Amino acid sequence: MVQFYDNGDVDRVYGIHYDMTTEQWQHLAEIYRSLPGSSADLAGAWFGPEGSPDGWLVASIEPSGLHVYGELPAADWHRWTTAFEAAVDASDFPLIDLADLAGFSDLAGLAGLADE
């Protein structure tokens, strides 16, 4: 199960390591295209362009993991995260143990760890 932590209502970092094979990057792109709100015009973004008044979501890979953030209604955020997490859990992406990151010695602060 992919670990994650939240920075806000629609601001989440998933413990997916950026050091992936070409095939894994291609698989991530396929997952992106399968997610709710996907559009051929929005690579790495969903629902609308950043700042769209109707809602938007973007992703970027960071040393701490895959950062997803935006402004969405709660129902759209839930639909997106549920689909994304299921797809990632079925993948072979290299994962980061978020408890190993500096500043995360208190596991109660991490979401996605409750089932472990």
Share of residues in the chain with pLDDT > 90 (%)? 72
Report pTM.
Answer: 0.85
Q: Does residue 27 have a pLDDT over 90?
A: yes
Q: Domains of the chain (ranges plus CATH)?
A: 4-109 (3.30.310)
User: How far is residue 115's CA from residue 1's CA, in Å, rounded to a whole number?
Assistant: 9
DSSP label at residue 111: B
Q: What is the model's pLDDT at position 61?
A: 92
The half-sphere exposure of 2 on its side-chain side, counting CA atoms within 13 A, is 25
DSSP class of residue 4?
E
Helix, coil or strand: residue 5: strand
What is the per-residue pLDDT for 41? 82
pLDDT band (50, 70, 90) for residue 67: very high
